[in-house]
Structure formats: structure tokens, C-alpha cells
């Protein structure tokens, strides 16, 4: 019963979540608060104005339908990302690559549709300087877009690592952390869609 003879990390002492997974979850706490600040700002303006959009922007219509379809695309990418994780858990590297590729493609497609919508909106006269309506629209939706972009970049790094055969059913922390982040970015979008486009 000599406790001194302990090996450093016995199997039973190992924490339920590895450092990397826990670290990502903690990061998401901060991300949530960042978006809370921006969503709070949006709500202050939304609730504080009797008409929304404010009278000066009455002619401007946000592309609800296209964005609705885009929302479905992004949600679908959440599903494919989940499948990628399932694939590596079954040690199926080929499927992992395919699912990751599909997820990244959907992410890029989402960004592409968003980008073309923005070009259209700016042509119609809704810019960053269009009062708080335009301002918070571009900042909030743009902040999410930046997150999607960073998630896509991250995903392609993971894909590169998968191509190099760096993952297996026993070692897939890289896929796991990227999945957690991806799911967060995907799950956030419907909230923004409902608030900004539909409310």
C-alpha cells in the first residue's frame, strides 16, 4: 500500500476528457460570450426600434429564402462532420477523408452563397454605414462568417493530416477537436438566422 510507488498517470486517474478536448470546450465558453455581446447589441437595437428595419431602410429585404437554403446546407455539414468522426472511430481512413472533403465543400459553399448575398445587398444600398441596421447585420453575420472560414481552414489542415495518415481509431484528437468547433459554428447559425433574418 505504498502510495509513493505511483506511476505518473495510471489508467484510472486519466481524466475523462483529454486536455485538448477540454481546452476546446473551454474556448467555446469564450466564443459564446463573444457572440452574446454581439447578439445582445443586436437585441438592444431590435427591441429599441418600433419598426425593423428602421424607416430609413424600409426598401431593403434580406434574402430570407436563399439564406434559408444556405442554413440547411450548413446544418447538413454538421451531419457530415459527425459522420467523419464516426468514420475514424471505426478506423476507416478513406471514409474519413470523403466525409471531411464533403464537410469542407459544404462550408465553402455556405461562405460562397453568403458572399454573393453580401455583394447583392451592398448593390441594393445596405452597407456597413447604413445606420445600426446595416452595421449590426454586417458585424454579427460577418463575425460568424469569419468563424466558419477559420473552421474551414482548420478542417482542411485536419484533412491534410488525415491524408498523411496521422489518425487512427485510437488517436483522433485532431478530428475530435475540429468536430467540436465545427458543431459549435453550425449550431450557432440557426439562432442568428432566426434573429437577424426572420425576426
The count of chain residues that interact with another protein, using the rule CB under 8 A, is 40
Kindly state whether residue 8 participates in binding another protein, applying the rule CB under 8 A. Answer: yes
Contact assessment for residue 96 and residue 2, using Cβ atoms and an 8 Å cutoff: no
The 92-131 site mask, x for binding another protein (CB under 8 A), equals: ------------------------------------xx-x
Beta strands, E only, the chain: none
In whole angstroms, the minimum distance from the beta carbon of 19 to another protein comes to 4
Other CB atoms within a 10 A radius of the CB of residue 18 amount to: 13
Pick 7 or 65: Cβ nearer another protein: 7
Which has the closest alpha carbon to 110: 135, 75, 158? Answer: 75
Answer yes or no whether residue 59 interacts with another protein by CB under 8 A: no
Distance CA 122, CA 137 (A): 12
What is the nearest approach in angstroms of another protein to the Cβ of residue 126? 13
User: Per CB under 8 A, does 40 bind another protein?
Assistant: yes
Distances (CA, A) of 163 to 63, 80, 95, 97, 118: 38, 18, 11, 7, 34
> Which one of residues 81, 84, 126, 132 is an interface residue with another protein (CB under 8 A)?
132
Nearest CB to another protein, comparing residues 105 and 135: 135
Shortest CA distance to 73 belongs to which of 197, 193, 195, 198? 193
- Long-range contacts of the stretch 5-8 (C-beta < 8 A, 24+): none
Indicate which single residue of 46, 86, 89, 135 sits in contact with another protein (rule: CB under 8 A): 135
**Which residues are at the interface with another protein (CB under 8 A)?**
3-4, 6, 8, 10, 13, 15, 17-19, 22-23, 26-27, 29-31, 33-38, 40-41, 44-45, 48-49, 54, 56, 128-129, 131-133, 135-136, 139, 143
Amino acid at each position: 500500500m505504498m502510495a509513493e510507488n505511483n506511476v505518473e498517470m495510471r489508467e484510472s486517474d486519466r481524466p475523462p476528457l483529454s486536455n485538448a478536448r477540454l481546452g476546446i470546450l473551454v474556448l467555446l465558453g469564450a466564443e459564446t460570450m463573444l457572440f452574446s455581446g454581439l447578439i445582445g447589441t443586436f437585441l438592444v437595437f431590435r427591441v429599441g426600434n418600433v419598426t425593423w428595419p428602421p424607416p430609413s431602410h424600409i426598401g431593403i429585404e434580406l434574402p430570407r429564402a436563399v439564406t434559408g437554403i444556405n442554413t440547411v446546407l450548413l446544418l447538413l455539414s454538421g451531419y457530415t462532420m459527425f459522420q467523419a468522426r464516426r468514420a475514424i472511430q471505426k478506423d476507416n481512413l478513406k471514409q474519413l477523408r470523403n466525409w471531411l472533403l464533403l464537410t469542407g465543400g459544404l462550408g465553402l459553399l455556405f461562405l460562397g452563397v453568403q458572399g454573393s448575398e453580401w455583394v447583392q445587398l451592398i448593390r441594393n444600398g445596405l452597407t456597413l454605414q447604413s445606420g445600426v441596421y446595416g452595421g449590426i447585420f454586417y458585424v454579427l453575420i460577418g463575425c460568424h462568417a469569419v468563424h466558419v472560414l477559420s473552421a474551414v481552414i482548420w478542417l482542411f489542415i485536419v484533412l491534410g493530416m488525415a491524408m498523411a495518415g496521422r489518425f487512427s481509431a485510437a488517436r483522433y484528437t485532431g478530428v475530435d477537436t475540429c468536430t467540436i468547433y465545427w458543431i459549435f459554428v453550425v449550431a450557432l447559425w440557426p439562432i442568428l438566422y432566426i434573429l437577424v433574418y426572420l425576426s
